[in-house]
Amino acid sequence: MRDGVYVQAVSGARFDLAAGECLALVGESGCGKSVLASALLGLLPGNAETAGSAFAGDLDLLAADERTLARTVRGRRVGLVPQSPAAHLTPVRTVRSQLVETVRELTGVRRGPRLRAAAEEAAARAAFPAGHLDRHPHELSGGLAQRAATALALVGDAPLLLADEPTTGLDRDLVERTVDELRRHIGAERALLLITHDLAAAERIADRVAVMYASRIVELADATAFFGSPGPRHPYARGLLDALPDREFTPIPGMPPELGALPAGCAFAARCDHATDTCATRPAFADGVACHHPATMPLEAPRA
């Protein structure tokens, strides 16, 4: 509920994520991506309601109580790079002390030079400068705070790393370095869920792409096919790519609907050039796309 209005922030989301894989969840701000991340970790506000299941191994994250989430999930089964690092960093403690505590808690290294070295190694993995380790969060730029949060998330080598807009505030070189490090986290027993609006970052490291619009996943595709040929099949997903500077650089017209007032039919119909009367009913998700008129032709080649 928000101001007495029921907001359907995420509906009908269905996907799997295997070890060794990166799934990029993309879409405009406000479509429900971060709400989905918060639901997986039990970080929704108290008035939120969830239904369904989300299994990490044999544990249903949506059904787990707070004690289980705090002791066995957060940082251990699921590591989080938060969208707003300032809200997750302790303001009265230095970055070094927070890294040391996290290393001690998650790795079993208790004291001495190994503990200090492990904390500094975690900082280096996230490109956090050693000269800033003894600073407090309020002394950091937004980009440095983001890198500190990334370093903390990498410490436990959790089977699932959930990165929610991990490149916010970073220049392009650091974006590439950060996502490359996140990609290196993936292994035989580890996976990455990258939540981002940065399609270039998604293209760089994702194996599959899930496109979210107005609370729903509207397309799920192999990344090579999505960014190359034949391209996205949902008109909204095509619009996202067409808006990129190295493609058409054409914005999607209009605005997405409010999540508290979603239409009964296709939520994208009001912005879609291909909408027909059929779009007054909600399309089912079938063959990787939720659209009555999915594209079948390849995208135009990017401009030179």
Strands 208-213 and 59-60: unpaired
Instruction: Quote the pLDDT of residue 242.
Output: 93
- Cis ω on the peptide bond leading into residue 230 (within 30° of 0)? yes
Report helix, strand or coil for 274.
coil
- Taking each helix axis as running N to C, give the angle between helix 172-185 and helix 142-154, from 0 to 180 degrees, rounded to the nearest 10: 10
Report helix, strand or coil for 277.
helix
Strands 191-196 and 22-26: parallel
Instruction: Quote the pLDDT of residue 3.
Output: 62
Report helix, strand or coil for 78.
strand
CA gap 298, 304 in Å, rounded: 17
Give the closest residue to 264 by CA, choosing from 214, 210, 212.
214
The residue to which tokens 């605005």 are assigned:
255
Give the closest residue to 166 by CA, choosing from 109, 82, 63, 265.
82
When computed from its CA atoms, the radius of gyration of the chain, rounded to whole angstroms, is 20
Instruction: Quote the pLDDT of residue 188.
Output: 85
Q: Which residues pair with 24 in a beta bridge?
A: 194, 209
Give the closest residue to 196 by CA, choosing from 168, 238, 160, 170.
168
Give the closest residue to 164 by CA, choosing from 180, 176, 177, 182.
182
Instruction: Quote the pLDDT of residue 133.
Output: 97
pTM value is: 0.90
**What Cα–Cα distance (Å) separates residue 15 from each residue in 47, 261, 288?**
25, 25, 10
Q: What average pLDDT values come out for the chain (304 residues) when binned by 10 residues?
A: 75 93 94 92 91 93 95 92 86 96 86 90 92 96 90 92 89 89 89 95 97 96 95 96 90 92 94 94 95 72 38
Q: Are 35 and 10 in contact (CB under 8 A)?
A: yes
The residue to which tokens 């970790």 are assigned:
41
CA gap 113, 91 in Å, rounded: 25
CA gap 99, 63 in Å, rounded: 30
Instruction: Quote the pLDDT of residue 78.
Output: 94
Instruction: Quote the pLDDT of residue 303.
Output: 37
Amino acid residing at 35: V
Could you tell me the two tokens for 302?
A: 């990017």
Could you tell me the two tokens for 21?
A: 């894989």
Instruction: Quote the pLDDT of residue 65.
Output: 95
